[in-house]
Every structure is written in structure tokens, then in C-alpha cells.
Structure 1
Amino acid sequence: MAPSFAARTYRDDAVVLRTHKLGEADRIITLLTKHHGQVRAVAKGVRRTSSRFGARLEPFMVADLQLISGRSLDIVTQAVAKGAYGGAIAADYGRYTVAAAMTETAEKLTDVDGESGTAQYNLLVGALASLSRSDHAPELILDSYLLRALSTGGWAPSFTDCARCGAAGPHNAFSAPLGGMVCPDCRPPGSPAPAVETVLLLGALLTGNWATADASATVHRREAAGLVAGYLQWHLERVLKSLKHVERT
């Protein structure tokens, strides 16, 4: 016997990763929920001007949702705003492109690793909140988020000891396939040798040392961004479409 309507109903906090149109008035919403991992759901009638909760289901918004489990797609029946970050982020192109890169990363990571869903949810919501408040430069928030999201997903980089053999650092070569900074004995041919300041910045972004990150120079931010992008691409085994639109100062 099929489960009852009540048995199929559940509530959860969720951040909206992506939306696309369905029919004349509906949307399919890709969500990262706090307790149910990544969920794809239909929001009926949200594109109508009379919709009660359409604005709460825009990208980068955080809401308390009531949903009904379906065969292929769940259905959103209620939405109560918890973090209205979308407006402030969408009003600035730089913040918007950063948020798009973060939500695309979260979607890729939780699509293959549902077990870290709660940790990835908390990490993304914190990053979107910080971005909406302009706590730090958008590109620093992005690179910090990417490093932490990869770490949460099981790919924590090392910026001190050798990522391959564990030899005490600091070291002066970086290898994405090996997991971070590597010693001279483990260094693959052609590995980049980032500036000392860049390595310190990467470590600060990973650990949340914002005093060091905020004081970093533009040249080191750009070098760090390139290494983070390469590390992300290697471990996700794909290129993030939204990352190329991010503005770098």
C-alpha cells in the first residue's frame, strides 16, 4: 500500500541552489537541505504574481520548507524565509557571480556525496550570509568556501607539511593531484612554485584567518585563486561553468 499523504510530508531548512521553468507557472527547484541532502522539487504556481512564496524560492535564499515526497520530484507546499540573501547578492554583479560559483560547487559536491549534506549546508549558508553582508572581498569569500567545501567533501589540502609523504614544511611546490604543497622529493615535474605569501593566504582561507586574508595583496590573491580553481577542477573532475564569470580585482 502506498504511504499516506501525511507520511510523505516533511519539513527541512534548505538553500536554493538553482531553478528552472516548468510549464507556464511552475518551477523546478534544486535545493540543498539541512537533513535530507540535495533535493529536487516542484514549486507550483510560483511564477504567478499572486504566488504566496515565489520570492522565497529564488537562488541563494534560505527557507524553512514543507515538502511532499514524490516519485521523481518532491513538491514544495510551504516556504518561510529564514535568510533573505538573494536580494543583496543579486544587486551586485560581483557578489552574484561568486554566489553562483558557490551554489554550483555545492550542487556538484552533494550530488556525489550525500553524507556530508548537513556540513555542506551549514558551510554554504554561512558563506552566502557573509557575502550578502560584504564582510570580506567576494573573491576571498569564494576561495575560502571552495577550500572548505572540498575539505568537507574529503579532499582537504595541505599547505604546510608535504601532502604526499608528510615531511614537515613549509615547502615551495604545489600539486593538485597530490593534495597541496609537496616537498622536493615528491614534487612532480612542472609543479608550480607559488610565492610564500600566496601559500600563507591559502592557509588563512582554509582556516578562516580573515585578518591575514584581508591584508593580502592582489597579486597573491590572483595566484591563490588559480591554484584553488585547479584544485577544485582536479577533484571534481569537471570545470565549473560559473567560475569563469567571477570578477577578480
Structure 2
Amino acid sequence: MPLYREEGVVIRTHKLGEADRIVTMLTRGRGLLRAVAKGVRRTSSKFGARLEPFMVADIQCYEGRTLDTITQASTLGAYGPNISADYDRYRAGSVIVETAERIAEGGPSREQYALLVGALRTLAAAKIPAELVRDGYLLRAMGLAGWTPGFDACVRCGAPGPHTIVAVQLGGVVCENCRQAGSPRLDPGSIRLLAALLAGDWDTASESTERERGQAAGIAAAHTQWHLERGLRSFSSRHSSSPRA
């Protein structure tokens, strides 16, 4: 059977039989991949720890009729232990990889793959608050997928900002004339934070207040789920709710 090599991020794993696992990965060249890793649950396994969630690995596989089989794995990014050791980082990482998986259903994208690896690397380093890494990833991933939110001019009529009313269904901030029923008004600092997260401006983002981060998190979650047209299991109820007006 044909052999191939790939680079990928482990999204999740499932037990298979007594010693095997099915590994779901987002790969650089093939997009989503589900493959069997034989014997990785045995204590004698040489590469089981390399195929845990949030790890980046170089793998060798051979093609099967239904599922491919992973025969070798080497670590490229050992982000799993640091992310899983902290509850906030783990929750943020879970949202990140689930979002990446949903976006990848549309096909492989090297840009999305690179963004995912960068987000997990930053999250594991623990130098930036986990919720900021998560929300920055969400906004930029949706932008790469074609749904870039606008936080300056009104996204409906183009009236120059700054504006503080957000209409998720329209894709960003709107002016008073374009406001729709139920559209929340955010603090000006929350809009600045959203723009900083979209731009990857961590210095500005890190200066934000807890209230601003809470409002920005609500918008990032709502924007993501609106355009994916489904909820994400990894979001807690706090992040799934509307931001405070």
C-alpha cells in the first residue's frame, strides 16, 4: 500500500480495541485526516505520547481501504503537556482545535494550518492570557476563511468610525442609523481590543480590562458560531452568551 508523510496537529483521539487509537489530525497538506495508531495505548509504545491532543507531529502513514494507519511519528511541537496542565489553557486550546476542525471541513489550507500551529505555540508558552490567544485565533481564522470582521467603519453603510455597536450578523460594527434590534453596544476599549486581536497586536490586547475581555470574548464566539452555522461544544455557556451591553 502507498506510503506518505505528513505534518499535522492532533485534534483528538478515540480508543479503538484494547491497544489502538483513532487519531484525528489537521494536516498541512491533506486537511483533516483520521488514521489508526496501532499499539499506542501500550506502555511499551514508542510514539503514543507524540499523538496526544495539541501535539504537532511529523507522521508516516500507509493508505488503507477505510482508515489510513500511522506507522511512525516524531514530535515537531510538544505543546500538549503545557496546554493540558492548565485548565484555562486547556479550555482555550479545545476551542481552538475544534474551530480549526470545523473550518477544515471546507478543504485543506496551509494558511489555516500555520495559524493553528502558531496559536498552540503561543498558548503553550503561557506568556499571553489564554482567553486572548483563543479570541485572537478565532477572529483571524474566520478572516482567513473569508469572514473578516470590521471594527472601524460601519460594515453596512461605510460611515467612518469609531463605532461601538456590533451587529454580528452583518460582520462587525455599525453606526447608529444602521443599528438592528438586539445589537449590543460595547465599551470603546472592547472595540479596540477586538481590533488588536484581529491584528495580532498583543501589546495593546494585554492592556485590556477584564470587562473588555469579556465583551470581546462574546463577540469572537458569536462571530465564529454565526458563520460556521453551528455551535461549538468547547465553548462554555459564559462564552456562548451575548456580551454585556
- TM, length-normalised to structure 2: 0.94
Work out the CA distance in 1 between the residues paired with 2:28 and 2:34: 14
Work out the CA distance in 1 between the residues paired with 2:198 and 2:46: 40
User: Shift in Å at residue 184 of structure 1?
Assistant: 2.5
2:128 equivalent among 136, 149, 153: 136
Partner of 2:186: 194
Specify the SS of the correspondent of 2:7.
strand
Work out the CA distance in 2 between the residues paired with 1:61 and 1:53: 12
Work out the CA distance in 1 between the residues paired with 2:139 and 2:34: 26
Partner of 2:45: 51
Specify the SS of the correspondent of 1:243.
coil
Residue 106 in structure 1 maps to residue 96 in structure 2: no
- In structure 1, stretches of 5+ residues that fail to align are none
1:87 equivalent among 78, 81, 84: 81
CA deviation digits over 1:196-248, x for unaligned, max 9? 1000000000001111100101110011111111111211111111111889x
Work out the CA distance in 1 between the residues paired with 2:24 and 2:146: 23
Work out the CA distance in 1 between the residues paired with 2:132 and 2:16: 35
Matched length: 239
2:161 equivalent among 148, 151, 169: 169
Specify the SS of the correspondent of 2:161.
coil
Partner of 1:20: 14
Work out the CA distance in 2 between the residues paired with 1:66 and 1:188: 52
Percent identity of paired positions between Structure 1 and Structure 2: 54
CA deviation digits over 1:79-123, x for unaligned, max 9? 010101111111111111111111111111101x214x2111111
Q: Is the 8 A contact 1:68 1:74 kept in 2?
A: yes
Partner of 2:57: 63
Work out the CA distance in 1 between the residues paired with 2:127 and 2:118: 11
Query: Once superposed, which parts of structure 1, at least 4 consecutive aligned residues long, lie more than 6 Å away?
Result: none
2:230 equivalent among 227, 235, 238: 238
Residue identity in the other structure for 1:104: E
Work out the CA distance in 1 between the residues paired with 2:140 and 2:184: 22
- TM, length-normalised to structure 1: 0.92
- In structure 2, stretches of 5+ residues that fail to align are 240-245
Work out the CA distance in 1 between the residues paired with 2:125 and 2:237: 21
Q: CA RMSD in A?
A: 1.4
Q: Is the 8 A contact 1:173 1:194 kept in 2?
A: yes
Specify the SS of the correspondent of 2:235.
helix
CA deviation digits over 1:52-74, x for unaligned, max 9? 11000000000111112223321
Name the stretch that deviates more: 145-154 or 161-170: 161-170
Work out the CA distance in 1 between the residues paired with 2:177 and 2:128: 37
Residue identity in the other structure for 1:122: A
2:197 equivalent among 194, 205, 221: 205
Work out the CA distance in 2 between the residues paired with 1:209 and 1:186: 29
